[in-house]
Structure 1
Amino acid sequence: MNARNDFSHFLSVQTRWKDNDIYGHVNNVEYYSYFDTVINTFLIESGGLDIHAGEVIGVCAESHCKYAGGFAFPEAIDAGLRVEHLGNSSVRYGIGLFRRGEETASAIGWFVHVFVDRRERKPTAMPEPLRAALKSLHVELPA
């Protein structure tokens, strides 16, 4: 499940000068920033998540990245997003980072958000507009 057509939502993410490390490629920690960027842009634009004043926020419970190829500045990355599991207060995303024009991901990962009450930081059901947006990206994974 690391092909471009395994993802239905994409965001172009531009690498930055600071992303390259001394070895001349994007450092591994930056990939997680790209994950955050595609996820949160989708949540804000499509799910109506109010990151500044909303009662519900998403916190990262776990994440993983498998590297198959590298990126370097200056390069635009196509970040693919899908929902692999949708619970009451949690969601597991699948993310693929693609080089322009390539069909196989250069990095593939997953990221789990737990939605919590902003003040109490206890798990809470995600708002319906957010759930509906996430449901639109849900895929059935092969067994």
Structure 2
Amino acid sequence: MLPKTAGLDDFAYRTPIQLRWGDFDLFDHVNNVAYYSYFEHITLTFYREHLGLDVVQGPLLCLVVENGCRFLAPIDSGEYKDAGRMITGGLRVVRLGTSSVTYNLGLFAQDAGQPAALAYWIHVFVGRGSGRPEPISEPARGRLADLVAGPIES
């Protein structure tokens, strides 16, 4: 599930991510915990913009039930910290189940051909009131199917 390598072109959905001053640690690079907030930003931005899901008040919740990350290169503060620069987040679907979806995600520094990090997330859609798995709607399933991609070297 967790690819060893991938390029930006391997991700059908891409979104810019603003680096924040507080993302940097004492070693002057993006702290590992910030990467996970970027992955959440990628998925929730996709849900809001392309699936029309209201993850705050809608009837469905998207729960992360499993994840992993391979850190490949640091994102140093250098040109980013003072300039408020952007990185790019990528998302692709590797498995689409009845009520779950497995993603590969990537983070790419500006002008970098190789990712700074690659990850996988498994989201399960559950009813807000019941907490039980709910089938992904057909319109959402269609949009997610557009992002299904073949395997990347793992």
| TM-score normalised over the length of structure 1 | 0.94
**Is 1:37 matched up with 2:47?**
no
Contact 1:48/1:129 (8 A) holds in 2 = no
Which runs of structure 2 are paired with 1:74-85 in the superposition (5 Å)? 74-85=84-95
Q: Deviations over 1:6-37 (max 9, x none)?
A: 11111000110110011111100110100000
Identical-pair percentage: 36
**Counterpart in the other structure of 2:140:** 130
Taking the aligned partners of 2:58 and 2:25, their CA distance within structure 1 comes to 36
Report 1 or 2 for greater relative contact order, CA contacts < 8 Å, sequence distance ≥ 6. 2
Report SS of the residue matched to 1:85.
Answer: strand
Name which of 72, 85, 103 aligns with 1:93. Answer: 103
Contact 1:82/1:137 (8 A) holds in 2 = yes
Q: Deviations over 1:106-143 (max 9, x none)?
A: 11011110000010111110122221111111112158
Taking the aligned partners of 2:152 and 2:74, their CA distance within structure 1 comes to 27
Matching residue's letter, 2:73: G
User: Which consecutive unaligned segments of at least 5 residues does structure 1 have?
Assistant: none
Taking the aligned partners of 1:106 and 1:2, their CA distance within structure 2 comes to 10
Q: CA RMSD in A?
A: 1.4
Taking the aligned partners of 2:57 and 2:20, their CA distance within structure 1 comes to 29
Stretch deviating more after TM superposition (126-135 or 108-117): 126-135
**Counterpart in the other structure of 1:64:** 68
Report SS of the residue matched to 1:32.
Answer: helix
- Deviation above 3 Å: which 4+ runs of structure 1? none
| TM-score normalised over the length of structure 2 | 0.88
User: Which consecutive unaligned segments of at least 5 residues does structure 2 have?
Assistant: none
Report SS of the residue matched to 2:89.
Answer: strand
1:43 shift after superposition = 0.8
Name which of 18, 26, 29 aligns with 2:30. Answer: 26
Stretch deviating more after TM superposition (24-33 or 45-54): 45-54
Taking the aligned partners of 2:111 and 2:44, their CA distance within structure 1 comes to 24
Taking the aligned partners of 2:131 and 2:26, their CA distance within structure 1 comes to 38
